[in-house]
Chains A and B, each alone.
Chain A
C-alpha cells in the first residue's frame, strides 16, 4: 500500500486542505482521499505535491513494507 505524509507536511506548512488543493490545482476532496490513503495519485500529481512541499516525491510517498515490490492497492 502506498503510504504518505501529506497531512503531516500540510500541517507543518500551516495549509488547509483547500489551500493545498488550490496550490496544486486539484479539488479539496482529492487531497482528503490522498491523505486517507484511499487514492494513489498519478506521478504528475505526486511530483506537484512534492514541489508544493519543496521536497522529493520519496519524502512524501513510499510503499509500506509488506507491499514493497508487489502490486499496490490502486496501482
Chain B
C-alpha cells in the first residue's frame, strides 16, 4: 500500500502541482496574497517532509527493495522484471507521442496568450498532468487486463 502510494503517478502530479504552486505564489501571485506566502511555504515543507518520511518507512519495511531519495529513475517505474519493463516501455511510448504534438501546441498557446504571465506555468502543469495521466492509464490498462 505504502509502495503503491509513493510510486503512484498521482503523487508525482501532486509534487508537480506543489512546485508550480510555489513558483506562482512567489513570482506571479497578486500582492493581496502576500500574507499567505509563509503559510503556503510551510505547507509545502510539511508535504515534502511527509513524503521523505514515507520513503524512509518504506525502505525500513523493504530493505531489499529500497527506494532512493536521490535517484534519476522516477518512482512510478516498477521495472522489477522484463514484463514490467515492457509495460513501462509501452507507457513511455504513449507519453512520447503525446509530447511530440503537445510541445509545439503548448509553445503556440504561450505565444498567443503571452500577455498572461501565468500562461507558461499553467502550460507546464497541464503538460505534466497529461503526462502522468497517460502513463497511469496505460499501466492500469495492462495490469487490469492481467487480473481479468
Interface residues, chain A, CB within 8 Å of chain B?
25-27, 29-34, 36, 38-39, 41-42, 45, 74
| Assembly CA distance A42 to B85 (angstroms) | 12
Over the window 74-103 of chain B, the binary record of Cβ atoms lying under 8 Å from chain A Cβ atoms (1 yes, 0 no) is 000000111110110000000000000000
- Chain A CB count within 10 A is highest, among B80, B82, B142, for B82
CB <8 Å contact, B86 and A39? yes
CB <8 Å contact, B143 and A29? yes
| Assembly CA distance A26 to B146 (angstroms) | 14
CB <8 Å contact, A39 and B83? yes
CB <8 Å contact, A34 and B83? yes
Q: Least Cβ distance of A42 to chain B in Å?
A: 6
| Assembly CA distance A25 to B82 (angstroms) | 11
Residues of B within 8 A of A36 (CB): 145-146
CB <8 Å contact, B145 and A29? no
| Assembly CA distance A34 to B145 (angstroms) | 11
| Assembly CA distance A41 to B146 (angstroms) | 15
| Assembly CA distance A39 to B87 (angstroms) | 9
Residues of B within 8 A of A30 (CB): 81-84
- Residue B147 lies at the interface, judged by CB distance under 8 Å to chain A: yes
Residues of B within 8 A of A45 (CB): 82
Residues of A within 8 A of B146 (CB): 29, 32-33, 36, 38
